[in-house]
Structure 1
């Protein structure tokens, strides 16, 4: 316990100090990171996290989600089969890799971002969704993280939205750096991917605490179109369900980041309190996946809540039941 207190004290001292340039992090910070690496490795051995889980029941319909967790270093690649109403036939099996809450900075150095990017590229996805919080505290980290994210490769493109930390550091600067690297930033708008004569809209909104505008992002999308929405904050779920969005990809919560036995996370430990905080869920016609993300905030540690890269496999729903009209949409 004394070692933990010393580390927290050092963290506070680092937070008060001027932010260093990413390429000139001193020996003190390296020693600090090494200490936490050893601590995390020890906790990983004590709290193993590989298991298979099937989700069942969502309202009156049973939705089975393949959820196979594969541990790779300190990042889990989680596999999910998501059944989507009105998914065009040519997009059957579309694979989306999600990277969220990278928080590049003192707690997540450049080489850790590189590891996540290399792992994502090895999956050879069709789409990569970046759901915000790329940096923490300092603008000095914007260009370095954008440069490494620019090496992401996906068949239909790499798409991003901004998180609350990106707005705190400078939303325009983050968006500009990502666009410079060829990443399409969706700020309250949507884009269309095309394959085999069919289309699939991918919409994105700014962080919910700042300038999110969901109606604007969905404007022009047909009411009967399967739609994927990127939103950093999962609290958008109720508005997304009102507009009958098919699938929302979010982050922000870190899955709680620290999950203590008996006490749970900062959100609590009951299923009701953890709803829409981590993993798959649905509300009405709208499914959501909330990633635990890559980085950390406040403390540079995860307990029983490993970093995650979700790998989503989209499949058409087995029901031909048509959905009601989407409010404000065009037919």
Structure 2
């Protein structure tokens, strides 16, 4: 797989600009057909209710949409990113959280994906953190491109979502393999106060729990990407049986959700692991219904 990964990286660097240009003009339908042959493009919107301790009543029902691991590249072209953005906008969220890995291999895809993501709309803003692939390609340029399109990039810092006289901190850190600084990101947030942390890599969970973060939103794992019956995860961004591969978990006071993401790496293929857009609904904590849960059709 590493040899294939290096080969694709070389192709992307050599031909990335021409493919982006071709897709934007005459090659659009050809790219769409190729993508659909290798990746069916299904995106599952998953609905979740999150209960946070000490959440002000004014934030009840706040809706957060998460997009993760877009990996805009030869294998996840322009129209596929546009489909995900359109679906996210139809949910009419209050906040949009982008949890990294916007591009794969080539700098040629940075500005196009940032421009598409710049059409995301949320009442309280669109917030992003960087993933390991963004650092491998060009973290500085990814940051600048996103910010040019009105996306707030949280690089080891936090901001406040303000509503009806109350505020909710939302923090973000760089990828754990590069320059992550959780202490700096959380500086000034009162311990025990409701808080949200965006971290591309879910391995931050132990440190986040130590710091009493309320909720972590992550990606990176792709949910395993290829999950076979009886064999489990055989390929993807997480080892088999990794605890925080996808979905909900909790460590101490901290809840975490790991999104399966949108794109793929190495192989343009998902097996029993559809792309995902999580849609979260915040609620004040109720001791009689303590655990987060996936919303039913009746909820």
TM range (shorter): 0.7 to 0.9
Q: Distance in 2 between matches of 1:35 and 1:199?
A: 46
**Partners of 1:146 and 1:29 in 2: how far apart?**
19
The answer as to whether partners of 1:79 and 1:310 remain within 8 angstroms in 2 is yes
Distance 1:164-1:151 versus aligned 2 partners, 3 A rule: same
2:77 aligned residue? 109
Point out where structure 1 has 5 or more consecutive residues left out of the alignment: 1-8, 42-72, 321-331
Aligned with 1:80 (options 48, 52, 71)? 48
TM-score by structure 1 length? 0.79
Task: Report the equivalent of 1:286.
Answer: 254
Give 2:16's aligned residue. Answer: 20
Offset of residue 262 of structure 1: 1.2
Q: Deviations over 1:91-124 (max 9, x none)?
A: 0111000000000010100010000000000000
Query: Cα RMSD between the aligned structures?
Result: 2.5
Counterpart Cα distance in 1 of 2:27 and 2:102: 24
Q: Which residue of 1 aligns with 2:127?
A: 159
From the superposition, tell whether residues 267 and 275 of structure 1 become closer, same or farther in structure 2 (CA, over 3 Å).
farther
Mark the runs of 5 or more structure 2 residues left unpaired by the alignment: 289-299
Distance 1:28 1:193, change over 3 A: closer
Does structure 1 conserve the Cα–Cα contact (< 8 Å) formed by 2:22 and 2:28?
no
Deviation at 1:31, TM superposition (A): 6.2
Give the C-alpha shift of residue 164 in structure 1.
0.2
Distance 1:224 1:153, change over 3 A: same
Paired position in structure 1 for 2:148: 180
Does residue 227 (structure 1) correspond to residue 211 (structure 2)? The answer is no
Q: Contact 2:8–2:266 at 8 Å: present in 1 too?
A: no
Give a deviation string over 1:213-236, Cα, whole Å, max 9, x none: 001000001123100000000000
Q: TM-score, normalised by structure 2?
A: 0.87
Cα gap change, 1:284/1:12 in structure 2, threshold over 3 Å: closer, same or farther?
Answer: closer
1:268-287 superposed matches below 5 A: 273-287=241-255
